[in-house]
Amino acid sequence: MSCEVHYDAASRTWFGPRGKDFYGPEMTLGEVIMRVLQINADQVMQTCDPTGQELTGAQLAQQSARIAQAFKRLGLRRGDVVGISANNSTYLTSVIIAALLRGIPINPLHPEFTEETVKYMYDITEPRVIFCDVENYHIIKTVNGKLKSPAKIFLVNGKLEGVLDISVLLNDDDCITAAAYPCPKLHGDHTALIVCSSGTTGMPKGVTRSHRSLLCNCKNPNTYTRDSVLLSFSPLYWISGTIILLASLLNGCRRIITNRPYSVEYLLQLVARHKVTFLFLASHQIALLSKHDSDVMELKAQLQSIRVLIGAGSKVCKAVSRRMYELIGNQRFVVGYGLSEMGGLSKNVGGPVGCDGKVMRNVELRVLDKLKMPLGINEVGIIYARLRFKWDGYYRNPDATRRALSSDGMWFRTGDIGYLDSEGYLYIQTRDTDVFKFNNFQIYPEQIEEFILRLPGVSETCVFGIPDEVTTNLTACAVVRTKSPEGERLTADHIRNIVERHLSGAYHIRGGVYFLDSLPKTPNDKLQRRKVLGLVQQLELKAE
């Protein structure tokens, strides 16, 4: 196995370290998971923090086998879809394993999706069975009544009169044993998961992920061991939530789950109570942790059990990275870059602050210009990625799939603008849909946001262009203040001044500074710049 990234000047391609897959192309997630659960039969594999309920490997295996057999009796076949619209709860893991065993792709939606978005996705995926929470049952029931082929609905976190729930599937004695689970003729290239795209430019698409791709992403004995304790606040709707779930099941380690909202105080309680060793946080969650007003030495002590803290989902700014390096060191804090479609593509472990790291194992990256010609070192363009196995595209959306791939179907267009330097470090600058022009000069919003976020009193910011007849766009920004004395004192002049001190005239804020209570985001925590512009335009109309 090659341990270093290398650059091929002829093809202008960066190659990550090469290595063999842990499993052959015929192996599937359900088969591997059941073997791991049986090996770890007596080990606690899952702890639900709000309830204290624990499940061992043996219990998970038995529950999964029961539900898999129930799926068979319900007439579900390979290729049918199971819909998930639920938060993390005790029995949801067994539902996932059972679906994987039966060859039934899982389509997880955010439990707070609106009726419109739920119907949009379920019209595409047509689930035969839907698992939801008590809290969103009324939305799921309403949508289900409008579907061409209504699904059978089960509650996973409680009971409602007259509604089926998970206990019906778990308490049925007419089931197979955990050692003789059903496994139809599956192979690694079959679809295991249909996850939603980020939806930054419209309604989400159904991103397919195969058994093989998820096995390669999640089986990592160098990162996870039997004594690892994993934590993420992500529901299964976020690809990170699914990755952490599968990493626990494939590597035989304990996962802490919770349905309570994130706060730094609650995070620190969880870390202390469960001695968490592996922590995945979204970028905004890390930013809140980095800005917490605890004493530095006290916060360091509270994070002492953490061996690896991964930050991903959107750009982690330099100020946040520096603070995290101070708190846990640059070998324990990892900035990851990846996509729902591809998985992890690069990671920064101890590299320069602000970069997105080096190309990961068995990944290839290249940078193309607008004419789709390959660019060289330090040249800025669109990032394209390639893995060793084929991506099956967006579920039932061949047009979107074709647009996302190169003409030969081998390279995926990430939609991110950036470059790789001479040492192989990747620098993502922005999304290509976020770039706007001022006097024919391309403006990359994240370059401006980086400096604004350094100001005391700034919690979040979003830079965007306001259409202008003369300059095409005027650069503007929306800011969310922190709830602190610094936030109260923060003014528009403070923000304009820091940008003018650090950036050239083309980047100066001429379109205004707008203070908002919050910034619109997708459930994937991606900024919705178009909606920010819409909010600002509404404010301007009201002011007139």
CATH fold for the domain made of 434-543: GMP Synthetase; Chain A, domain 3 (3.30.300)
Instruction: Identify the DSSP state of 18.
Output: P
Whether pLDDT at 183 is above 70: no
Range 151-164 average pLDDT: 97
Q: Quickly state the pLDDT bin for 172 (edges 50, 70, 90).
A: low
Among the ranges given (79-83, 306-310, 399-403, 426-430), the one the predictor scored with the smallest mean pLDDT: 426-430
Residue 263, pLDDT above cutoff 50: yes
Signed CA dihedral, 341, 346, 352, 353: sign only = positive
pLDDT tens readout for residues 199-256: 655 688 999 999 999 999 898 888 899 999 999 999 999 999 999 999 999 999 999 9
Q: Which helix (H) or strand (E) holds 108?
A: strand 106-108
Distance CA 110, CA 94 (A): 19
Distance from CA of residue 10 to its chain's centroid?
34
Radius of gyration of the chain (CA): 24
Q: How high is the pLDDT of residue 452?
A: 94
Per residue in 41-77, pLDDT tens?
Answer: 999 999 999 999 999 999 999 999 999 999 999 999 9
Neighbours of 489 (CB within 10 A): 11
Q: Are 365 and 420 in contact (CB under 8 A)?
A: yes
CATH architecture of the domain 26-207 equals 3-Layer(aba) Sandwich (3.40)
User: Bigger pLDDT: 94 or 433?
Assistant: 94
- CA dist 396 to 111, 149, 392, 393, 478, Å? 23, 17, 10, 9, 37
Residue 296: count other Cβ atoms within 10 Å of its Cβ: 11
- Phi-psi region at 149: left, alpha or beta (left = phi > 0; alpha = psi -120 to 50): beta
Rounded Cα distance, 495 and 140, in Å: 44
pLDDT exceeds cutoff 60 at 179: no
Residues with Cβ within 8 Å of 488's Cβ and at least 6 positions away in sequence, in order, are 457, 481
Is the pLDDT at 78 greater than 80? The verdict is yes
pLDDT at 182: 61
Q: Which two tokens stand for residue 84?
A: 């998930």
Q: pLDDT value at position 201?
A: 58
**Could you tell me if 106 and 84 are in contact, meaning their C-beta atoms sit under 8 angstroms apart?**
yes
Q: pLDDT, tens digit, for every residue of 448-484?
A: 998 999 899 999 999 999 988 788 899 999 999 998 9
Taking 90 as the threshold, does the pLDDT of residue 185 lie above it? no
What's the confidence (pLDDT) of residue 199? 63
Distance CA 497, CA 353 (A): 24
- In whole angstroms, give the CA distance from residue 121 to residue 384: 27
Domain boundaries, the chain: 26-207, 434-543
Q: How far does the chain reach from its first CA to its final CA, in angstroms?
A: 65
Position 178 pLDDT exceeds 60: no
CA distances from 416 to 243, 323, 412 (A): 22, 26, 11
